[in-house]
Each structure stands twice: as C-alpha cells, then as structure tokens.
Amino acid sequence: MVVSDIDGNVINETYTRDSEGIPGVAEEDDRLGDQLAVGDFDGNGFDEIAATVRGEGIGQPPSEIENAGAVNVFDLTHSNRHQLWTQDEIPSVPQEQPEAFDRFGSALVAGTINGGTKADLIVGAPGNSISESGTGSAVVLYSAPIDSLFGDRFEDD
C-alpha cells in the first residue's frame, strides 16, 4: 500500500505486512489492502486507513485457521498505534471466534454510526457462520469506548 496526498505526491513509504511497526506477518494470499476504508477513528483531525487482510490465517500451522481474515488500521501520525483486528478481539461480541474462510474484512465502511464525532468501522465477514453455515455477518468497531478503535487499547507516543 502506497500513501500519497491529493496531488499524488508520496507522503509515506510502501506498507506491507512485514513493514516495521505493522502488526502481523505477511503470508501467502493475505490480500492486504484488497478493501480500504478511511476515517478519523481517533478524533485527532487526521484520517486513519483501515485495510482488509481477508486472507489472514489465525494461529500457527498445523492448527492455523485458514482465511479467517483480519483488518489492519494504519495511523500515519503515530507509528506505534497501528492495529490488527481479528474476530476474537471485538469487545462487543466476546463469544465470536474466527473460523476458516470467514474472510473477516472482505468489506469495510467508515462512518459515524453512533452519532459521535469520530468515525466507526463496519467490517464484513461473508463466510462467517452464525446459525447456519456461511450466512455472513457484519460487525461495528466503535471508535469511542475503551478497548475499541484507538480507545485505551494502545498508548500514545
């Protein structure tokens, strides 16, 4: 992923799953950046970038959960605040566990769902099974509460 300003001038370097400070490790078929959403998730006046990693495997082989999916959130103003979200890290849905081929992050949308001033992030998982196999789901990651997008989960610089 290459970040540039409105005129096309590159303002940062290329980001990959192996870039310094980026949570996670590059794997074959991760598909980082297949879907993107932009919003001011922390309320500092600068937008962050949410990028899908829908092919992300969770865990280590041989028990890896294949194509469970994840979302990286890039904070370009604070290098130590990049985030990686998977289904089992969502405070509002504590019983949710990643499953093979959930593809969490296949769709991303940013908006102010709860009427606040910070952007919230809606994440789709089309392969997720709630009551029936592969029915799909969507989860809202709110920006305001603790343990949410840029809540108290990470410390500032």
Structural domain spans, the chain: 1-157
Q: Which two tokens stand for residue 20?
A: 């310094």
Helix (H, G, I), strand (E, B) or coil at 81: helix
Q: What is the pLDDT of residue 156?
A: 34
Q: Is the pLDDT of residue 19 over 90?
A: no
- Asked whether 64 and 82 are in contact (CB, 8 A), the reply is no
Stated pTM of the model: 0.79
In this structure, of 13-22, 63-72, 115-124, 146-155, the range with the lowest mean pLDDT score is 146-155
pLDDT of residue 47: 85
